[in-house]
Amino acid sequence: MFRELRASLTLFVLFVFVTGLGYPMAALYLGQALFPHQANGSLIQEKGKIIGSTLIGQNFTGNGYFHPRPSAAGNGYDAANSSGSNLGPTSADLIKAVGDRVADLKKAGGAVAIPVDLVTSSASGLDPNISPAAARFQAARIAEARKMDVAKVSDLVARNTEPRTLGFLGENHVNVLELNRALDSLAPPLTQSSP
């Protein structure tokens, strides 16, 4: 009996070290060695200051910036409060919220068809990407606010559109933070109103 207990305890201690210490440490060091940018949160820095992450959406305001999807997170784009709204398609609250967003966008953008990702939030509430259609929808507003040609803004959207992952997963998308950074480098904003 003592031999069996000793063998069980030995295996237990071995697996605690392998799975509780060895594997996590190996994953940490391999991640830092092979993918340091991604392992550290895909943070973007400007002038030594962290301005955001390519993985987490943030709220851009003002007419001179591309706006992200609406956030379902309780405090705007607070990553500590990531969650979907959990509202179903027949929810009166969801129907009202989407209707209000559509009405606001129609006032600002006219009668052009509104891309669905500009009026609905993502499952996490923190999606950093929008569809190319959602970015193009905002081009006229941004061009007017920055006194630019709409074609230049549309070209910027095209140059910052990323293809599907591995060629077949998801949809083409535009990272809002990266697009706004490219926009600032092309034509500085007339009034500062970034995150």
pLDDT given for residue 127 in this prediction = 86
Cα-based torsion angle of the residue sequence 42, 48, 50, 55 in order, rounded to the nearest 10 degrees: -20
Number of C-beta neighbours around residue 92 at 10 A: 8
| Sequence-separated (6 or more) residues with CB below 8 Å from residue 82 | 73, 124, 125, 126
User: Please, what is the Cα angle at 85 between 78 and 40, to 5 degrees?
Assistant: 35
- Token readout for 58 is 């943030």
User: Is 69 found in the same domain as 27?
Assistant: no
At 46-103, the pLDDT tens digits run 888 998 888 888 888 888 999 999 887 766 677 777 777 778 889 898 899 899 989 9
User: Is 179 found in the same domain as 86?
Assistant: yes
CA distance 124 to 178: 20
CB 59 within 8 A of CB 195: yes
User: Is 50 found in the same domain as 36?
Assistant: no
| Sequence-separated (6 or more) residues with CB below 8 Å from residue 38 | 31
pLDDT given for residue 75 in this prediction = 60
Tell me the whole-structure pTM to 2 decimals: 0.79
The reply to whether 182 falls in a domain is yes
User: Is 173 found in the same domain as 91?
Assistant: yes
pLDDT given for residue 132 in this prediction = 97
The reply to whether 193 falls in a domain is no
User: Is 106 found in the same domain as 144?
Assistant: yes
Stated as kind and residue range, the H or E segment containing 161 is strand 161-162
pLDDT given for residue 194 in this prediction = 46
User: Is 126 found in the same domain as 171?
Assistant: yes
pLDDT given for residue 111 in this prediction = 63
Boundaries of domain holding 27: 1-40
* Domain count for the chain: 2
User: Is 109 found in the same domain as 58?
Assistant: yes
Residues of the chain with pLDDT under 50: 192-195
- Token readout for 109 is 């953008």
Q: How far is CA 46 from CA 31, 181, 186, in A?
A: 24, 10, 16
